[in-house]
Amino acid sequence: MADVNIVNGDDEIVGPDKKKQKTLTSIKEGILLGYGNPLLDISVNGTEEFLKKYDLKPDDAILAEDKHKSMYDDMAKTYADHVEYIPGGATLNAIKLAQWLLRVPDATSFFGCIKKDEFGNILEKKSKEIGVNVKFQYTDKESTGTCAVIVTGKNRSMCANLAAANLFTEDHLNNSENWSLVEKAQFYYIAGFPLTVSPPSVLRIAKHSYEKKKTFCMNLSAPFLCQFFKDPMLQTLPYVDILFGNETEAETFAKENNLETTDRKEIAKKLAGWKKENTSKSRVVVITQGEGNVIVAKDDKVTEYPIIPIAADDIVDTNGAGDAFVGGYLSQLVQGKSIEECVRCGNYSANLVIQRSGCTFPEKPSFQ
């Protein structure tokens, strides 16, 4: 597919007779590649009786145990008339938001592991409908990863069964067709969660990015990763050009690595100054703080950007807000926009998603 010129998100031919020339950005097919743990979110408006059946709390987020394994099929059957299936998982959430904003088919690619079962087929189909070029690794050892989202009133109970998502291997990168997508991409995004699955895959992509002078982005993603998967995280960090995280993750990283400060701005500065292989490109560290300002550190300088104010009554679901922010940021990054524009689009995306159920979005973006 040829490059597509995008003007403010819409295909347009700009001629010399235009009174106002708009900036053209050439978005290449496959410019952004993500690798992560794909999950199919199965979302329903449920009942307290259903929660009790599987020993779930109304407002909680847990990993599935054996007693929950039959719940996903049960949800699909019990709530067949109004069940909603949403492609999910932290990395895929960010990639699909970026794809939605870029509006060029296959501008983004994604790697992850699923099974060719009913939920896997839905996950693959819906991801492709968004425009993401998904290249899954398939396994027969586990079912496709799922996350139950059971809404009761204002509460959301989430129960994730990683299953096949945990079985991704570096073999997938040895396939020439898949590796060609790595070579084609100029930007990479990997949430921290794959560090629990296949650290060699993460490191291989990160090293490729460094060797070819591309841009590699990673996310701290969860406090437990900073604690219990510290070694693979620290092995990858020198190759990271842009690092994302929220306030809790940043504070946990600081504690675990003896940064001797709880000041988030100082943490961001120290992370920005962490050992980096590609010294010709400064590391950018982006820390979100929920309702607080977004902190950005680069070259020993810290800048704060306010979020978009929102009334509490307008917030529907904060899950996925961080992923949406990253997706918005990446959509502008691949177009060569400034940090300020990247953050502005990140805030737009997060603000949009928290006013909807699940990490979802309307047909077309309104970001300008």
DSSP 269-303: HHHHTS--S-TTS--EEEEEETTEEEEEEETTEEE
Read off the pLDDT band of 328 (50, 70, 90): very high
Read off the pLDDT band of 14 (50, 70, 90): very low
Q: CB of 281 within 8 A of CB of 324?
A: no
Which pLDDT score is estimated for 62? 87
What are the pLDDT digits (tens) for 202-248? 999 999 999 999 999 999 999 999 999 999 999 999 999 999 999 99
Which pLDDT score is estimated for 355? 94
Whole-angstrom distance, CA of residue 153 vs CA of residue 214: 46
Say which residue the tokens 């794809």 belong to: 99
Mean pLDDT of 254-270: 97
Structural domains in the chain, CATH included, are 32-37+88-144+163-354 (3.40.1190.20)
Mean model confidence pLDDT for the chain? 92
DSSP state of 125: H
Does 267 have pLDDT greater than 60? yes
Read off the pLDDT band of 86 (50, 70, 90): very high
Mean pLDDT of 58-86: 92
* pTM for this predicted structure: 0.90
Which position among 41, 241, 317, 323 bears the catalytic label? 323
Does 21 have pLDDT greater than 70? no
Which pLDDT score is estimated for 164? 98
Length of the chain as a residue count: 368
**Which residues are paired to 63 by β-bridges?**
160
What are the pLDDT digits (tens) for 272-283? 999 999 999 999
Which pLDDT score is estimated for 67? 96
Which pLDDT score is estimated for 130? 96
User: Is 323 part of the annotated catalytic residue set?
Assistant: yes
